[in-house]
């Protein structure tokens, strides 16, 4: 081919390329998809559109008022709405009917939120969490479960969190440890606990309903332990217990588990640490056990006490358990009280607690704590609590068995038994001693004139106040009683 022909072919190819590349690219146009007309209105509905047709609000006339509902709202009588079919938020001249939508069961068991006393004022952080609303995490093969309360569900509870745990007969809460201190009260059944401290000293004990254990996290006066490894095994009848931890953001999901520890370490390293052959590790767990079925513990606890341990047993003064069930309660008018704190349970030097039983109508006296928030659990019965928050806010909450109450320091409150049966409540403090400030004792020990000038109380009322704490005040089973004078 001649040079001219090559030149001509090149020009033709260049012209074709220019034509192709310079041609406009036509993009496909996507048409907007119109919504069906029924989904939205138009701008003719904005603002004033002229006369309207008034919608009906259903009248509510098929209801009965409970005793005290027509009384002065400031009397604040408790309303038992579980005994009426259609409770209404009416208190004296305040409130009105509620045609719904509504949850009748919640209204019935929270009557003081649904129909608050006239003395409630302002805004107060929520002080109630029912464990029945917590997610229940199941163990393996029907071995038990646990549910928890922490700041995720009760934001005010920054200093303590709680767990309600169930172990079926012979089931384990597996070998584990925590970043947080663990304090426990057994609600029912019996357990065997075991632990080893950093000195290689061992501890094994059998506990039953009403007993307490504690495993420390922070250095205490008796030990520098941080995260004592331990296990819990239910005995023949199974068990349920409360766990209270010293941080509001505690979670069961952050527990250090022995099964997870061995599963997350190279098997060659684990074999080296245990001075064995890798083949011996073929059956170690590949995932956490957490709560799992176990072989029944030997009836004789001494079979699990290692008498050959050269490090010996944990000294008695450092014992991780206290047989609280065998402590006799202090009986007083209206109920009884048992206190456990480092005075008698030294290892738990950051936990103090009171187990209080109130007869129907009685109340845990008006008080507040000076150094600690209060984490409480309703073990049995029905209660109500009014929390006063400075400068002028208060709110009244109702509680049933299985509920957690949390009152930040130093907010004043009482606990009143509003049910027909005994109220049993556990109060837990983060304190080296169980103490409180009693309102009636404060009045009794302050010069009369100061009280009269401040509260306009008479000498008769002031002089009738006890100079010693009573902890419990007797009451009446009549929910509309107003005279609580007693013979002195």
Q: What is the pLDDT of residue 56?
A: 92
pLDDT in tens, 56-71: 999 999 999 999 999 9
The answer, yes or no, to whether residue 6 has pLDDT greater than 60, is: no
The answer, yes or no, to whether residue 49 has pLDDT greater than 90, is: no
pLDDT in tens, 86-102: 999 999 999 999 999 99
pLDDT in tens, 211-266: 999 999 855 555 555 579 999 999 999 999 999 999 999 999 999 999 999 999 99
pLDDT in tens, 331-358: 999 999 999 999 999 999 999 999 999 9
Number of H helices, E strands in the chain: 8, 26
* Cα dist from 431 to 185, 359, 371, whole Å: 17, 27, 7
% of the chain surpassing 90 pLDDT: 85
Residue 224 or residue 185, greater confidence: 185
- The backbone torsions φ and ψ at residue 254, rounded to the nearest 5 degrees and listed phi first, read -105, 15
Q: Considering 427, 460, 468, 481, which one is annotated as catalytic?
A: 427
Positive or negative: CA dihedral 385, 389, 394, 395 = negative
The answer, yes or no, to whether residue 11 has pLDDT greater than 70, is: no
CA pair distance 400, 383, nearest whole angstrom: 6
Which range (37-46, 316-325, 365-374) has the least confidence?
A: 37-46
Q: What is the pLDDT of residue 26?
A: 63
Yes or no: say if 165 and 240 are a contact pair by the CB < 8 Å rule.
yes
Please indicate whether residue 427 is annotated as part of the active site: yes
Q: What is the pLDDT of residue 227?
A: 76
Q: Is the pTM of this model over 0.85?
A: yes
> In sequence order, what DSSP letters do the residues of 139-177 get, joined into one string?
-STT-EEEEEE-TTT-TT--S-EEEEEEE-TT-EEEEEE
């Amino acid at each position: 081919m001649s040079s001219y022909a090559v030149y001509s072919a090149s020009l033709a190819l260049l012209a074709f390329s220019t034509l192709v590349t310079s041609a406009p690219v036509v993009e496909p146009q996507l048409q907007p998809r119109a919504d069906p007309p029924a989904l939205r209105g138009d701008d003719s509905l904005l603002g004033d559109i002229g006369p309207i047709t008034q919608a009906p609000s259903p009248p509510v006339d098929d209801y009965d008022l409970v005793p005290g509902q027509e009384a002065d709202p400031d009397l604040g009588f408790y309303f038992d709405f579980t005994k009426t079919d259609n409770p209404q938020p009416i208190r004296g001249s305040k409130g009105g009917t509620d045609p719904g939508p509504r949850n009748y069961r919640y209204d019935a068991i929270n009557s003081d939120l649904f129909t608050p006393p006239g003395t409630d004022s302002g805004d107060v952080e929520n002080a109630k969490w029912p464990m029945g609303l917590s997610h229940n995490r199941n163990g393996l093969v029907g071995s038990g479960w646990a549910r928890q309360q922490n700041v995720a569900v009760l934001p005010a509870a920054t200093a303590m969190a709680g767990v309600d745990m169930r172990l079926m007969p012979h089931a384990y809460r597996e070998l584990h440890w925590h970043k947080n201190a663990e304090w426990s009260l057994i609600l029912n059944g019996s357990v065997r606990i075991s632990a080893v401290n950093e000195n290689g000293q061992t501890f094994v004990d059998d506990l039953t309903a009403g007993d307490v254990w504690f495993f420390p996290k922070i250095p205490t006066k008796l030990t520098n332990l941080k995260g004592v490894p331990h296990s819990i095994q239910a005995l023949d009848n199974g068990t349920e217990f409360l766990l209270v931890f010293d941080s509001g953001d505690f979670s069961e999901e952050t527990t250090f588990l022995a099964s997870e520890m061995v599963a997350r370490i190279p098997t060659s390293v684990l074999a080296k640490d245990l001075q064995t052959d890798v083949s011996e590790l073929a059956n170690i767990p590949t995932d956490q056990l957490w709560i799992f079925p176990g072989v029944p513990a030997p009836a004789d606890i001494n079979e699990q006490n290692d008498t050959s341990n050269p490090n010996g047993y944990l000294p008695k003064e450092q014992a991780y358990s206290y047989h609280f069930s065998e402590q006799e309660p202090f009986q007083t008018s209206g109920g009884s009280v048992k206190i456990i704190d480092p005075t008698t349970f030294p290892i738990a030097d950051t936990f103090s607690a009171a187990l209080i039983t109130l007869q129907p109508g009685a109340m845990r006296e008006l008080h507040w704590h000076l150094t600690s928030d209060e984490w409480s659990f309703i073990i049995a019965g029905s209660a109500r609590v009014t929390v006063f928050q400075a400068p002028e806010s208060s709110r009244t909450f109702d509680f049933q068995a299985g509920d957690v109450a949390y009152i930040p320091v130093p907010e004043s409150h009482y606990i009143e038994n509003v049910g027909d049966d005994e109220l049993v409540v556990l109060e837990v403090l983060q304190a080296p001693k169980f103490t409180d400030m009693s309102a009636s004792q404060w009045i009794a020990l302050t010069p009369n004139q100061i009280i009269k000038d401040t509260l306009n109380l008479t000498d008769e009322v002031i002089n009738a106040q006890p100079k010693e704490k009573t902890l419990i005040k007797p009451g009446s089973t009549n929910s509309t009683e107003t005279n609580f004078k007693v013979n002195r």
